[in-house]
Structure 1
Amino acid sequence: MAPHAGAAADGYGDQHSKSDDIAATLAQPQLLYIDGKYQSSTDGATFSVRNPMTGKTIYDCASATVDDYATAIEVAHKAYQSTWSKTGPSARRMIFLKAADILESYMNDGEAAELLSQEVSATKYWIKVNILATAGTFRETAGLVTHIKGEIVPADRPGTTILVERQAVGVVFAISPWNAPVNLTARAIACPLVCGNTVVLKPSEFSPKCQHLVVRALAAAGLPPGCLNFLPTSAERAPEVTEFAVKHPKVLRVNFTGSDRVGKIIAGWAATCLKQCVLELGGKAPVIVLEDANIDDAVEAVIFGALSNSGQICMSTERVLVHTSISQEFKAKLLGKVAKLKTGNHLEDAGVSISGLFTPQSAVRVVELIRNAVDGGAKLLVGDLEITGPNRTIVGTHILEGVKPDMNIAHREVFGPVMILSEFGTDEEAIASANDSEFSLCASVFSRDVMRALDVAKQVRAGSCHVNGPTVYVEATLPNGGTGGSSGYGRFGGIAGVEEFTERKIVTLAKPGMKYAF
């Protein structure tokens, strides 16, 4: 069998059969990728990447040092100046379109699916979303390359023309998470690269090889060396190398998708050198179900929004606000649907909808939040407070009601298969409850009266609010992000992304012979 696109270029060697290819890929160490070359870290250090479902080591990964990051930043800066900023828009577009095709081909070779399954406990659905949505992101972002436009501004000074153009900034430091490792890695790097920047990428220590799929596809598509550098590092080294990269004078933009805790630290480091960031952090998305809503539709959307990827999505539905007049019917239908979902070990049963969380520690944290709420008087409608699985990462669906505002689960992001039900009597009460959060990423409103729903949606504090649809919904062309607080600031996607990763530059043209009086 012939190797898939890009296999020879990334050092994985000859491939003799599909099963051999996959086994070899999983077993081999993951190296750093700097200036188009694979290499070990400067001190040879590695860390183990483990299967969250079994707890067993999948492979060892090179652990980048501060010196490695210093080298990568210099390489990226040189590539920006000498190559990538001078590459025309059509050439950039073709690289991303080709990379999209290569990524789609990964769906057929089995390797990408196995990587996602092994590294992040991805179910069949989540594997498909990661790969195909990433190809879509590349194609949509490729289309932006000729929309990086400036303007001509009238000048009061005679004989003067004023141009305002958008220019790439230089080196971007990107940090992408494990939960949607392929798609969110693509989002972190695609728009910066299309705009003409170069990127130093720090992937999550939980999913380096999944995230490396994006790097591999772009390299195979012809992205010049040095434009994208890939530097995984251990959890122990992450704070040191991240602070170094954020504060490095040749890094002019930072983007991070992850927890609000880490986002606040990165924002603090960036503030010391007045550096612009794009931060998409946590969420605690509310869904408002008005009394005239289609209850069946709302139930479907709430289940999808709350339980996709076991609730490990920043847009996951965590709070469900239902009008008192329909609360019993909604609750009965919700519980009936949830009872039919299959939870378990996706490695043993491909039909599982809800599999394990990303670490045993995460499972313990989720269950403790639920237990503390129950101990404080909340009622558990669904769930047994149990953690199962060979590595104790499987937590079933839990639904609570009677949660009080002072409970931790009421205001902390759970990031697990958990929903909190509550009731309201008026639209104003629902809006106030939805807005009673530090998070502001996304929300949904359900009503048969679209204009009424639109009015409510406008008053909900969220970067996106969906009418009659789930909170988990995003398109590559949309300006995705929160409106401040614990959901972060700045926007990924579309022209908003172009604005984040370029600078307006004023260029004035004056006729020769101008005279100036003072």
Structure 2
Amino acid sequence: MSYAAEIARILQQLGVAPGASHGSGESLSVRTPIDASVLAVLPASTAADLELAISRAAAHYATWRDVPAPRRGAVVRRFGELVRAHKAPLGRLISLETGKIAQEGLGEVQEVVDVCEFAVGLSRQLYGLTIASERPDHKLLETWHPLGVVAVISAFNFPMAVYAWNAALALVCGNTLVWKPSEKTPLCALALNGLLQTALMEEGFDGAIAEVVFGDRTAGEALVAHPAVRLVSATGSTRMGRDVAMACAARFKRSLLELGGNNAAIVCPSADLELVVRGAAFAAVGTAGQRCTTLRRLIVHRSVHAELVQRLAAVYARLPIGNPLEDSTLVGPLIDGHAFESMQAALAAARALGATVHFGERLAGLAPAWYVRPALVEMPRQAGPMLEETFAPILYVTAYDSFEEAIAMNNAVPHGLSSAVFTRDLREAELFTSARGSDCGIANVNIGTSGAEIGGAFGGEKETGGGRESGSDAWKAYMRRATNTINYGSSLPLAQGIRFDVTG
């Protein structure tokens, strides 16, 4: 069976037709990175299609916001149940469209289920505050209310999980949704949104509460600019995020940004090197290095530097690379040729600085797809491409002498997403996670930089955008705060003891 035929079978199994994409524009060809063949052809959304989707979501907000939050949670519960019931075909779809290995595809679907479970509990915990008032017979409250239409712009590398982080929370908070996925992975969006619309309709609500549109940058720009959209949650490059932030600021609307990451792990003299090798390998080569949390820099104490490089090189030499649908594969393809070109340019820049590059070559015999052996790069110092994010499997390794120097190197990049330290020294672990340590939104001890759980708020600082999604109190990003003062007495005392008597 061809991959295109398998896609058609999966979509039929999920009850979704490729033509149900709310599009009437030019054809959008979807290719698999496995062998570059065409999976499907979808109609892209025109400006009129996008306007209709937003207007439908805006119209339904007026009723959805008044639905009790636990009732909204019931919709998200049903959505999670449908996703769980179709975990295998959804995981397969992710692998076909993104090139992720089978276990990573299934893991992403499980993440959708997990965040739905989190959001269902949250639907009964949208707490405000009661604050002591300085005035007698007064109550001071802080309450939370939905925003309106939330736009979600997602990237190709997590075509389902990132949307679910946003959608599950935004829905229980009382918002409606318009989703523009990456033009590289519209089939995953079509399938997942189809299940969400099924959940809505089974629970007695209109599927237009959650709309999906397809297109390129132009569609994203129109979505960001639309006055009915009150929050734009965007995942992608820092350059894209900067444009989104500026456009939102010009219209005084909110943005929630999850952008790039140039993540580092510090390896201390006391580190368990076996743990480091396993943790670093997964974080550096998982998803073929195409994660925002990918480990890109390994900052190693000079005393263990040579041994660790030797161990990692041995692992890299025997990595099973190939078709991600095969159970033995650990590294699948890059998404496209542009990713390969970016990788080779970074490796050339590293060589020009005196680096020793191990591997990084394209695998022969698998064209026109883009399979590479992940690169391990010994850098004489932290400079050049090591200070930049390249969305490909490159792990730069450099040495340090003092722990303070290592922390400074960790923080010496524009991004601030994820970081890690491997140590058995309690002082080093505590210092790394303190205000004097890592400046990233995620700071781990004795695990790698990738693989965050949904219970904690996910996101980073600096050019990573500052947004937080998924767990903890990330729900507040999807709501507006109101301060309420209630006078249940018969007098009107003013704050700060001010007297203003107009009765004569």
Deviation at 1:514, TM superposition (A): 4.5
Give the Cα–Cα distance (whole angstroms) in 2 for the partners of residues 387 and 81 of structure 1.
57
Give the Cα–Cα distance (whole angstroms) in 1 for the partners of residues 156 and 439 of structure 2.
27
Distance 1:301 1:81, change over 3 A: same
Give the Cα–Cα distance (whole angstroms) in 1 for the partners of residues 163 and 67 of structure 2.
23
Give the Cα–Cα distance (whole angstroms) in 2 for the partners of residues 294 and 66 of structure 1.
56
**Partner residue, 1:517:** 501
**Partner residue, 1:88:** 68
Give the Cα–Cα distance (whole angstroms) in 2 for the partners of residues 502 and 20 of structure 1.
38
Match of 2:151 among 170, 173, 176: 173
Give the Cα–Cα distance (whole angstroms) in 1 for the partners of residues 68 and 288 of structure 2.
42
Give the Cα–Cα distance (whole angstroms) in 1 for the partners of residues 453 and 96 of structure 2.
27
Specify the SS of the correspondent of 1:489: coil
* 2:367 is the alignment partner of 1:390: yes
Give the Cα–Cα distance (whole angstroms) in 1 for the partners of residues 81 and 364 of structure 2.
40
**Partner residue, 1:75:** 56
Give the Cα–Cα distance (whole angstroms) in 1 for the partners of residues 431 and 106 of structure 2.
35
Q: Tell me, which stretches of 5 or more residues in structure 2 are unaligned?
A: 493-499
1:60-459 equivalences under 5 Å are 60-82=41-63, 84-108=64-88, 111-222=89-200, 224-225=205-206, 226-233=208-215, 235=216, 238-239=217-218, 241-346=219-324, 349-384=326-361, 389-402=366-379, 404-407=381-384, 409-458=385-434, 459=437
Deviations along 1:367-402, one digit per CA (max 9) or x if unpaired, are 221122213321113334667622241111110112
**Partner residue, 1:5:** none
Give the Cα–Cα distance (whole angstroms) in 2 for the partners of residues 388 and 301 of structure 1.
30
**Partner residue, 2:455:** 477
Deviation at 1:405, TM superposition (A): 4.3
Asked if structure 1 preserves the Cα contact closer than 8 Å seen for 2:137 and 2:488, the reply is: yes
Give the Cα–Cα distance (whole angstroms) in 1 for the partners of residues 272 and 235 of structure 2.
34
Give the Cα–Cα distance (whole angstroms) in 2 for the partners of residues 24 and 390 of structure 1.
30
Q: What amino acid is aligned across from residue 501 of structure 2 in structure 1?
A: A
Asked if structure 2 preserves the Cα contact closer than 8 Å seen for 1:29 and 1:59, the reply is: no
Specify the SS of the correspondent of 2:357: strand
Asked if structure 1 preserves the Cα contact closer than 8 Å seen for 2:92 and 2:106, the reply is: no
Deviations along 1:190-242, one digit per CA (max 9) or x if unpaired, are 21111111111111111111123321222222352221101111x3xx23x32
Give the Cα–Cα distance (whole angstroms) in 1 for the partners of residues 490 and 429 of structure 2.
62
**Partner residue, 1:30:** 18
Deviates further, 148-157 or 128-137: 148-157
Distance 1:455 1:404, change over 3 A: closer
Deviation at 1:263, TM superposition (A): 0.8
Distance 1:80 1:460, change over 3 A: same
**Partner residue, 2:442:** 464
TM-score norm. by structure 2 comes to 0.90
**Partner residue, 1:53:** 34
Deviates further, 154-163 or 127-136: 154-163
Asked if structure 2 preserves the Cα contact closer than 8 Å seen for 1:401 and 1:421, the reply is: yes
Asked if structure 2 preserves the Cα contact closer than 8 Å seen for 1:371 and 1:385, the reply is: no
Give the Cα–Cα distance (whole angstroms) in 2 for the partners of residues 406 and 444 of structure 1.
20
Give the Cα–Cα distance (whole angstroms) in 1 for the partners of residues 347 and 404 of structure 2.
28
Q: Identity of counterpart residues, as a percentage? A: 25
Q: Tell me, which stretches of 5 or more residues in structure 1 are unaligned?
A: 1-16, 34-38
Asked if structure 1 preserves the Cα contact closer than 8 Å seen for 2:362 and 2:370, the reply is: no
Query: Aligned Cα RMSD in Å?
Result: 2.4
Distance 1:20 1:343, change over 3 A: closer
Distance 1:19 1:492, change over 3 A: closer
Q: What amino acid is aligned across from residue 209 of structure 2 in structure 1?
A: C
Deviations along 1:279-337, one digit per CA (max 9) or x if unpaired, are 01010110000000111101110001101111111000000011111112212221222
TM-score norm. by structure 1 comes to 0.88
